[in-house]
Amino acid sequence: DAGITQSPRHKVTETGTPVTLRCHQTENHRYMYWYRQDPGHGLRLIHYSYGVKDTDKGEVSDGYSVSRSKTEDFLLTLESATSSQTSVYFCAISGDRLNTEAFFGQGTRLTVV
Amino acid sequence: GENVEQHPSTLSVQEGDSAVIKCTYSDSASNYFPWYKQELGKGPQLIIDIRSNVGEKKDQRIAVTLNKTAKHFSLHITETQPEDSAVYFCAASREPGTYKYIFGTGTRLKVLA
């Protein structure tokens, strides 16, 4: 299995509180991604990173921010959590253009009450 | 916007029978089509992929076919086994290894013993 660790694996938080999810990789891969998975929607890209301090928005980025200060870490922050952000969050990594496979982490189940 | 439709949403087959899952994509520039398998409580894992310059690809009991003219691609699993039970996602991308995966909504496959 690719070396991807997501933390925490489960979290319950209250509406309006900030939340940070962490993705840590040991593969030295260039690209890192945050997806959310919801019933009936499959996986949808939130943000991605193509290098240290280089990030961009995906299709569902509103309400989320990211940071990547080191190759191995990609943080996803919900500045003020809402119930609509209750979801399972997956981090994924992939190498350069010659490396086609994206490896996914185990996921973080976030519940906003 | 870009979209990938996946059918059926659930599929039950008897052990030993074949299973077929179909996807249709809207972005004619898509040229990379991976299939992911997700087991309960785990992240998606790549099982097979195909590029636009190939019409079919096989890997043991799994095959993928691509019809670029019709913008259809399909996953075929032969001689199904109980361990094939999982959720399967198709995806489309303009470039291998980049962030731009548009996922289908998933198919829950149940293989009945």
DSSP result, A26-94: SS--SEEEEEEEETTTEEEEEEEEEETTEEEE-TT-TTEEEEEEETTEEEEEESS--GGG-EEEEEEEE
Q: What is the mean pLDDT of residues A50-59?
A: 91
Q: Choosing among B98, B102, B107, which should be mutated to test the A contact, i.e. which has the most A CBs within 10 A?
A: B98
- CA-nearest of B20, B32, B26 to B4 is B26
Structure tokens at A11: 């979290």
Q: What is the pLDDT of residues B13-66, one digit of tens each?
A: 999 999 999 999 998 888 889 999 999 989 999 999 998 888 999 999 999 999
Residue length of chain A: 113
Are B96 and A31 a contacting pair, CB within 8 Å?
no
Q: How far is CA A69 from the centre of its chain?
A: 15
pLDDT exceeds cutoff 60 at A99: no
> How far apart (Å, rounded) are the C-alpha atoms in residues B51 and B96?
9
Structure tokens at A44: 């949808």
> How far apart (Å, rounded) are the C-alpha atoms in residues B55 and B43?
28
Chains A–B, number of C-beta pairs less than 8 Å apart: 64
Q: What is the mean pLDDT of residues B103-112?
A: 96
Interchain pair B46, A48: CB under 8 A: no
Interchain pair B103, A42: CB under 8 A: yes
Q: How confident is the model at residue B97, as a pLDDT? A: 52
Q: How confident is the model at residue B95, as a pLDDT? A: 66
- CA-nearest of B49, B15, B40, B61 to A100 is B49
> How far apart (Å, rounded) are the C-alpha atoms in residues A2 and A67?
21
Are A35 and A105 a contacting pair, CB within 8 Å?
no
Cα torsion through A6, B3, B98, B60, rounded to 10: 80
Taking only residues 26 to 45 of chain B, the set having a beta carbon closer than 8 angstroms to any beta carbon of chain A reads: 32, 34, 36, 41-45
Q: What is the mean pLDDT of residues A98-111?
A: 85
* Residue of chain B minimizing CA distance to A33: B99
Which of B68 and A1 is assigned the larger pLDDT? B68
Phi and psi, residue A9, nearest 5°: -85, -30
Q: What is the mean pLDDT of chain A?
A: 92
Q: Choosing among A21, A43, A45, A46, which should be mutated to test the B contact, i.e. which has the most B CBs within 10 A?
A: A43
Residue length of chain B: 113
Q: How confident is the model at residue B18, as a pLDDT? A: 98
In this complex, the residue of A50, A56, A102 whose CB is nearest that of residue B101 is A102
DSSP state of A84: G
In this complex, the residue of A43, A48, A95 whose CB is nearest that of residue B103 is A43
**Which residues in chain A touch residue B97, judged by CB atoms under 8 angstroms apart?**
31, 94-100, 102
